[in-house]
Structure 1
Amino acid sequence: MNPSFLTEDRYRDAVSFLVNASVFLFFSLLLATKYGHSLAMVLMLVATLLAIPLKRNSKIPKEIKFASGFLLFLGFFWSHTFDDLFSLSLKGDYLVRYILGAWLMVVLSKVPINPHAVLYGLSAGGIAAGILATMQYEEMGRAEGFTNAIRFGDLAILMGIISLSAAMLKFFSTKERTFFAIASFFGLLASILSLSRGGWPALIAIPVIFFFIFRESKKIALFFTLSLLPIFLIFINLPPVESRIQEATKQINGYFDEHEQYVQTSLGARLEMWKTALLMGKEKPFTGWGDKNIQNKRLEYVEKSISNPVIMEYNHAHNDFLEMWARRGIIGIIALIGIYLIPILLIISFYRKNNYIIKNNERLISINKFLVISGVLIYFGYFIFGLSDVFFTFVIGHNFYLFSLIFILSSMQWIQKENSK
């Protein structure tokens, strides 16, 4: 490099700018555009390729090494069809996607992501989703973004709750906290207008967040938590929400009381698919039926009148655990528990390590707290969403899972870098 023009520090700053820009664009464009987050991923790939010549300032943390290995495992797991021992599939590009993610995880330790790119990206994404949802709800009666109403609403509620947690952190300025509160409103609005009931139980995380943020002052924590009760009552009585809850109650009761009439409704079909998946898993509990055989087995159940033909209209069981049970057996169930739990444990481990290092830096303590809240919320949210849907059916479900882990762990390295200055 020419020292008079482009020093290593300037080169590192330029690469860092590209990395952070791609992170912001990934979250902000994820729900509001059709291809925006894909373009952000391309920019991220370019930035990390440019980062290869950079020297590493410190050793790779053990959490990063473990996370990288975990992503490699997921690449092979999601691409394995479970039809036989060597039945790999390139469908969905899962193998390439997760191997690339493992590589990005390591390379980004050279240029850690600024947490503000994550924070403002998620907040901007919530606002954009809310605006788009308002337009689509008026036109179509339901907001679905450019993906699917369920995934749109579920990811929007995550953005809304994460933005709310940022608004509660006292370190940020009044203007910033106001912005985050507005972002929270729009994210939650997008979820409501998507009419996706499966994501709404994630709201139970809010009182836990308040206790975590304000645990130093039990009175404040109790005040904020109790203030949620009237907000909850207002939420369930909003016309779109109240209508969906009443509809759900009617369909569930109807499935058991007037089966033939209600089995083809939204929740009736889900219950029928859950029953079928449970029975299928019992027949082949260790490895499940695999990708090739599962539809044939479902058809067999229909032909034997064990299940209603409505189950053939869907290619999954609308429940992550039951789908894994039927498709990949006990092996899949164990892997799925790890898919939810391991990112949370990695993020908490990094959070504790950082907290030990940055004891007297209020700014970094607040940012570290925001990152652990965000990470736990995302993977807890995936668990909640998976109870009523198979969230990994679509590429967007994999992308948000994968890149959120990469970005949050990289941001936690940024905290260590800042603390050492």
Structure 2
Amino acid sequence: MQVAIQQGLARYGAAASIVAFFALLLVTRHTYNVGPIFLLLASAGLWLSGRRASLPTLAWPLLVAFAGYVLVIGLSTAATGEKLATLDNPSRLILLLMVLWGLWRWPFRLEAVWLGASLGALGGLGIALYQRFILEMPRAEGFQHPIMFGDVAMLLGLLALVGLAHALHTRRPRWMLVLYLAASLAGLVTSLLSGTRGGWVGLPVILFALYRYYAPVLPRRLWLGSLIGFALMGLMAYTIPATGVADRIHQAMHEVKTFHQDTGAESSVGARLELWRAGAMLVDDAGLLGLSEAQVHDRLRALVDQGTVRAPVLEQAHFHNEIIEHWIRHGLLGLLALLALYLLPLRTFMRLAKAHAPELKAAAVAGVVSLTAIIDFGLTQKFFGHQIGIMAFGFTVTVLWAAMLQAHAAHEGTPSHV
């Protein structure tokens, strides 16, 4: 009896921690870490108590991706002489492996993810509306950089959208459908109000992935209505001046057209294009383990002095592209580690997203959507360079992987925990 009560409390505690993480992502500065910290301490306590159980084989792709990434970043940091603070963000992935083990022992319902993401997206929209129309800030930013605020808001909205598809598939109560629909729209609107542009580049691919996996189990008229709804929302966002969407689009097009002019690298888009061009020139120097921050600056200064690239690149703290950043700062091994971090989990999610079991399908599709979105964010931003970025990636993937392990075990008829 006592064991059953303890297990019940552990499961409720795990679900509450998951809800808290997603719900607090946009509405506070750092308290979103409370949920993961609680799960880490609880998992470590369970491990130290001796009640250990091995993770199933299906966990290995994530274990290899997370551990390999941290190992390579650690080697690169040591080789280039960078500060140990460089390891602060990556090291969280190792800690999340303990959380994965704990969540495997404490089965939770996927509704914890959908509910948390929905609360987070709606809370983010409230902050965005307040900052844009009450404080009259040019871009909504919450408590983060505007780009990170907009990207994470879109991530939460997309998670809610997968929750909506799952709720329709499994005929959940109407209030869930309304909540998830409102939250998915809230995430996209918040991203618009943040003025973030890069995150929208991959949205058609993400929506196509969602359609691909759920088209066989949802009515065709629903997809047609969704397509019309998204088109109308986009049109409204573009035509309503208060959103600033049209101005940001026109500005981006102008900056691309004027890139080759003398002052073309001084604009937001122009600076990114010039940084990517400069980064391509430094790839050969990066070697296996990369260049230190000082070495990168010295080489960029030399390129500027030679007239090969333009001076605004020296004003940027990073390359605004996750792949270029890892290749140059952590070398060829860093690039391979990043690609493994992206593709090993993505490959498994994509394989299991074809499953017929609803819970297994939903967890895997959410993984595909989340990872595709984060890869897209990294094309124009150093997403993992921000604590909220590495946690949004790491904790989301960890939770979805644990849900996938549990659903897969249930589908195979094997116990999910001991």
Distance 1:276 1:96 in 2: 29
What is the match of residue 318 of structure 1?
Answer: 320
What is the match of residue 151 of structure 2?
Answer: 154
Aligned-partner residue type, residue 89 of structure 1: L
Q: Secondary structure at the match of 2:84?
A: coil
Whether 2:67 is the aligned partner of 1:72: answer yes
Per the TM alignment, residue 175 of structure 1 is displaced from its structure 2 partner at its CA by 1.2
Instruction: Tell me: CA distance 1:194–1:95, structure 2 relative to 1, closer, same or farther (3 Å).
Output: closer
Distance 1:241 1:78 in 2: 37
Q: What percent of counterpart residues are identical?
A: 23
Instruction: Tell me: CA distance 1:284–1:202, structure 2 relative to 1, closer, same or farther (3 Å).
Output: closer
Per mean C-alpha deviation after superposition, the further-off stretch among 88-97 and 380-389 is: 88-97
Q: Secondary structure at the match of 1:137?
A: helix
Counterparts of residues 204-243 of structure 1 (less than 5 Å): 204=204, 205-216=206-217, 219-220=220-221, 223-224=224-225, 226-227=227-228, 228-239=230-241, 240-243=244-247
What is the match of residue 362 of structure 1?
Answer: none
Question: Which residue of 71, 96, 99 corresponds with 1:104?
Answer: 99
Counterparts of residues 180-259 of structure 1 (less than 5 Å): 180-204=180-204, 205-216=206-217, 219-220=220-221, 223-224=224-225, 226-227=227-228, 228-239=230-241, 240-256=244-260, 259=261
Distance 2:175 2:100 in 1: 33
Question: Which residue of 307, 310, 313 corresponds with 1:308?
Answer: 310
Distance 1:85 1:389 in 2: 23
Per the TM alignment, residue 128 of structure 1 is displaced from its structure 2 partner at its CA by 0.8
What is the match of residue 167 of structure 1?
Answer: 164
Per mean C-alpha deviation after superposition, the further-off stretch among 286-295 and 376-385 is: 286-295
Question: Which residue of 14, 23, 46 corresponds with 1:19?
Answer: 14
Distance 1:88 1:34 in 2: 24
Per the TM alignment, residue 93 of structure 1 is displaced from its structure 2 partner at its CA by 1.7
Aligned-partner residue type, residue 388 of structure 1: T
Whether 2:113 is the aligned partner of 1:118: answer yes
What is the match of residue 293 of structure 1?
Answer: 295
Tell whether the 8 Å contact from 2:81 to 2:292 is kept in structure 1 after alignment.
no
Per the TM alignment, residue 96 of structure 1 is displaced from its structure 2 partner at its CA by 3.8
Distance 1:250 1:208 in 2: 31
Structure ranking higher on relative contact order (CA contacts 8 Å, 6+ apart):
2
Unmatched 5+ residue regions in structure 1? 360-364
Q: Secondary structure at the match of 2:384?
A: coil
Per the TM alignment, residue 413 of structure 1 is displaced from its structure 2 partner at its CA by 3.0
Unmatched 5+ residue regions in structure 2? none
Distance 1:309 1:126 in 2: 39
Per mean C-alpha deviation after superposition, the further-off stretch among 282-291 and 261-270 is: 282-291
Aligned-partner residue type, residue 156 of structure 2: M
What is the match of residue 340 of structure 1?
Answer: 342
TM-score by length of 1: 0.87
Q: Secondary structure at the match of 1:387?
A: coil
TM-score by length of 2: 0.87
Aligned-partner residue type, residue 31 of structure 2: G
